[in-house]
């Protein structure tokens, strides 16, 4: 396990978005697709929002990214507790996922 210490929340968000982007881009150089499993809850939301912004959104070939959920609550997608609803608002509505 690798522990990352950041000087601020914003630094950690930037580090996570950069790391995720680099892994996706490197994987897609040698593979047809990349599977991304999203975590739920409120903690990952700022990272998803950052991935939906430049330079990250433009660096990723989103048409080759397959997204899965690591967990989901049994609530409608528009419910405030829905992890899908959170991911949709933070990421899906802003990236070219087919």
Token pair belonging to 35: 């599977």
Residues 26-68 pLDDT 10s: 999 999 999 999 999 999 999 999 999 999 999 999 999 999 9
CA-based R_g, the chain, Å? 14
Provide the 8-state DSSP code for 95: S
Token pair belonging to 14: 């930037």
| Number of DSSP helices (H) and strands (E) in the chain, helices first | 4, 2
- Predicted confidence at residue 33, as pLDDT, reads 97
* Residue 92 scores a pLDDT above 90: yes
Exposed (0-12), middle (13-18) or buried (19+): which is 67, by Cβ within 10 Å?
Answer: middle
Residues 6+ apart with CB under 8 A from 79: 73, 85
- Predicted confidence at residue 73, as pLDDT, reads 83
Residues 64, 24: Cα–Cα separation, whole Å: 10
What's this model's pTM, rounded to 2 decimal places? 0.92
* Residue 74 scores a pLDDT above 90: no
């Amino acid at each position: 396990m690798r522990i990352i210490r950041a000087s601020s929340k914003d630094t950690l968000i930037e580090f996570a978005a950069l790391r995720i982007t680099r892994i996706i881009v490197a994987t897609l150089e040698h593979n047809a697709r990349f599977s991304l499993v999203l975590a739920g809850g409120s903690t990952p939301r700022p990272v998803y929002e950052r991935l939906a912004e430049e330079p990250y959104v433009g660096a990723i070939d989103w048409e080759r990214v397959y997204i899965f959920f690591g967990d989901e609550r049994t609530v409608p997608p528009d419910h405030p507790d829905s992890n899908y609803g959170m991911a949709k608002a933070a990421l899906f509505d802003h990236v070219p996922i087919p």
